[in-house]
Structure 1
């Protein structure tokens, strides 16, 4: 049975990889229920020339997996995924759906040769019997999974328990609660229904999902937040927290472009949240705020511009205003004073990253403090958090409360230093940087223009992190892996957008060193390089025990295996 599941997993992984590197495709008629919790659609046509199956076959991890495969069918699939009968030109999709008391997950795509697909499927599932329901063929692959197909499409479907919070709490013995599971008879019903899914029930006809998939890109994913509210059994509505889920959806388009991996996200909100965001829209992070960072050695920076008065409306909308007011009154403060004190600019900066040996103080055998010097170098950096001041007297009161609380929680707060002037409050683990930030400055960072002018902007200097780690590496393989990473990864940028056609947008970008080659091809080469470095270092005993899982592809198979019982 385990060998059978391994073959199924191998086939799925091979098909998924080869499907996204195959030739151009037309629409495949993929059916995703409109109430799916999560959905992922791979647009194979947009990945046409980015990396080929032949290139993947040249990778060290692939060769190792192929050489270790003892089954002739497994080798055949790896040599030529099209031999399975699956249409490698058609789009692929994956989704998760809550269904009554339980749930299921499905992977679907196109069938090029129905006879070849049936031969492949029955051979993988030795002793399995194909049954027909109308024009749909069904073959159980386990007690809680099956594959169904027609002449043009296939669906692998498996049970995925999704217990609600109310079901757990209402159980007489929550500690031994077993979530509801679907057997193959129910899964067969769901699969057959998917082949005849009505247009009104198909996610493709949701205007929001349609707008998402119109974005040019390689992968589109979708999250229906309302389904998570349902999974919690309505408990969020007690505090009105359901407004964060009900009617909301999120999606993103991922593209493997030349020299970078980009992600463009869209968020759709319900009426209440949308009205709140429109009312307080327009905030922009200023260049001056970012350029105040006192160190030129910045490895990460995140800046926000928010309307403090909007916090009052938000906590009322969520029904937590009583809790927030109670918290503030407990320390002699109020929500109104907090809103009055803040001006809405916030900055978080991580600078001066280094690998540093530290001394550790602990209790010795005699009960007295004992200091241990040295040890392996560990990451160390200066962290600065700052927020702008609107009303100095109101912030003075808040500052006094913070000072009092810091004294209460010594020694945990002994390395945190904070100061206040008429414009800014700053806190950090470096007193020099806190003082320098309050004094003002203008470092004119290259990344400033990229992350300013929006309500949120973020930057991570991957190169600096990797180069610093490399300097402290002593193992030759670790150095080689870090060198390969330095030659691959550059930096990360993140910015929020505004409202566009009813959705709130944001963008993220992972930049690579090589700007001329598409990032998918670069990732393929990078994984091959890392595998060649890491594999020889494995313990021989581990290699014998974990032979099947000694490379990235096999690890993926191991992760997928439990789902294919």
Structure 2
């Protein structure tokens, strides 16, 4: 089945970034069930327009990589896909689904449209002459027991279903085989136990066919389109879309170990994001939809904005990256209480002399981390004098804002910390020698907990006389959000020494250095029931589409791989030839 389908649906799925057409309401979306946990949509018209307008087609890509070798297997796969009857100009959906049919594990499905169902059937028969094609009502299908995979099609649509082997995940659940629950004796191997491979048989065909038939005939309220966030995402007409349904995962049979109250907390929570490739940047915008329980918590405490002063007073100009977050710590308490584990938490804290409420009161929920001067340099080992190796280094500050002074002082003087810290004036200092020897420089007061990479930087930050230097426009993207961050991709990539790069890869690495500039992200509340977030990756070349730049870079990488493979094959052939000649001489 892989020999056939990988040349059709999976090839077509990747090819969706090259050839497709527009549809305001993708017909293929009606075959996505509401039990899908993750859905990736590729709007191929958006993508093909941006590539073709820059002279990039599949033929040119293969010619560039394979040096016009039309006999190459990948080229053949693409040509087969073009003539397979699959509509390469349709929307493509890749989904991870929790089945509705009893006895089945989660599976991956690929959904696409057909231009010609007869062509598709002929293609399948050509690829696998011995394959048995069956008919059920209005659909045809074939089943591969050894791969737990089924493919079905009607006159207009084809769906591939491939089982996900979750046995490896299940065995790590408490009480399951190989991972005993607390107090259980280690499980002994059972020689009579049947392995998961042996359980795979044609007997599963009926169950998978039932699931496939269910997908082809979803009722309106069974479709993911009945979920408003997913339906809204489909109307965005973006280059690509990503949808996540947390509830679907937590309600699957693989997540039985998760507390029911946590599942209740996640009811009605979704994430939907668009991805667009624009000139000089990739833009991802998404919304996190909160369920009833989380909405009530957000409404109770409201949203907070990051304290930008925690970032602004950083005394550095060569900024590598930063992140800041703001939220009311009491929200964590409400979540713990909703899950009915607050009693357990307080019991575990009993000997420490503090309660959960003390901890929640002690911190305001404002934190920031800023790093600068990132570099990779040769450093001498403290354990092996004279031995040097490349190691990363950076200057940094981490700070956390204190909440109620009384609660904080109670924690710092509690039995669990009294042997570690002591108060001197308005500061707490480390008294434990072992901890003091390894801990970074720090300042702990009843207002802030601040750590730094070195004492000089820490004192400059605490003095508040610094003023961070960020690229133009970045500050406005950080302020006013509940979470925000920035990273200088250019500095990170260029910090890697050329000496660490393989000689054959240096030309490609040089191109990588010229690709990315920086990136930032932010998140803010939109009412009480939705968070809106944005991620932007900026490229150095602002005039060319980011997808085109990535494809061109990928082409160069593919060339490098091919050349390296050819070089290795040549070297191996020379070695084999020399060995053969040596044997002949003997």
The bucket for the TM-score relative to the shorter chain is 0.7 to 0.9
Q: Superposition RMSD on alpha carbons, in Å?
A: 3.3
> Where does structure 1 lack aligned partners over 5 or more consecutive residues?
363-370, 546-565
1:285-434 → structure 2 map (5 Å cutoff): 285-362=306-383, 371-392=384-405, 394-396=407-409, 398-399=411-412, 401=417, 404=420, 410=434, 414-421=438-445, 423-434=447-458
TM-score (norm 2): 0.81
Is the 2:298–2:529 contact (alpha carbons within 8 Å) kept by the matching residues of 1?
no
1:510 — aligned with what?
537
CA distance in 2, matches of 1:407, 1:62: 65
1:436 to 457, 460, 473: 460
Structure 2 residue 65 is the aligned partner of structure 1 residue 63: yes
- Evaluate the alpha carbon distance shift between residue 439 and residue 508 of structure 1 in structure 2; reply closer, same or farther with a 3 A threshold: same
Secondary structure of 1:449 counterpart: helix
Greater Cα radius of gyration, structure 1 or 2 = 2
Q: Is the 8 A contact 1:357 1:374 kept in 2?
A: no
Secondary structure at the aligned position of 1:86 is classed as coil
Distance 1:375 1:237 in 2: 50
Return closer, same or farther for 1:286/1:65 CA change in 2, 3 Å cut-off: farther
Tell whether 2:253 aligns with 1:237: no
For 2:509 and 2:194, the matched residues in 1 are separated by 46
- Deviation string, structure 1 residues 542-561 (Cα, Å, up to 9, x no partner): 7999xxxxxxxxxxxxxxxx
Tell me if 1:32 matches 2:45.
Answer: no
TM norm structure 1: 0.84
Contact 1:168/1:177 (8 A) holds in 2: no
Shift in Å at residue 275 of structure 1? Answer: 0.8
CA pair 314-193 structure 1, distance change in 2 beyond 3 A: closer
- Mapped contact 1:212–1:266 kept (Cα < 8 A): no
**Is 1:114 paired with 2:136?**
no
Residue in 1 aligned with 2:106?
103
Counterparts of 1:501 and 1:306, CA distance in 2:
13
SS of equivalent to 1:344: strand
Q: In the alignment, is the contact (CA less than 8 A) between 2:259 and 2:339 conserved in 1?
A: no
Distance 2:503 2:385 in 1: 27
1:448 Cα offset (Å): 2.5
Is the 2:138–2:154 contact (alpha carbons within 8 Å) kept by the matching residues of 1? yes
Q: Is contact 2:62–2:75 with CA below 8 Å preserved after alignment? A: no
Alpha-carbon distance in structure 2 between the residues aligned to 1:501 and 1:156: 39
Q: How many residues align?
A: 531
Moved more, 534-543 or 377-386: 534-543
Q: Is the 8 A contact 1:125 1:141 kept in 2?
A: no
> Are positions 1:203 and 2:224 aligned together?
yes
Deviations 1:464-510 (A, max 9, x none): 11122146646444543332122111111110022269432211111
Aligned-pair distance for 1:444? Answer: 4.3
Mapping 1:67-86, distance limit 5 Å: 67=69, 75-79=75-79, 81-86=81-86
With over 3 angstroms needed to count, the CA separation of the structure-2 counterparts of 1:47 and 1:233, relative to structure 1, is closer
Q: CA deviation at 1:109?
A: 0.5
Take 1:32 and 1:68, find their aligned partners in 2: how far apart are those partners?
36
Shift of 1:431: 2.3
Aligned to 1:561: none
Partner of 2:161: 157
In the alignment, the residues of structure 2 paired with residue 383 and residue 271 of structure 1 have an alpha-carbon distance, to the nearest angstrom, of 39
> Residue deviations 1:434-480, cap 9 Å, x none?
22222113424333222121111011110111122146646444543
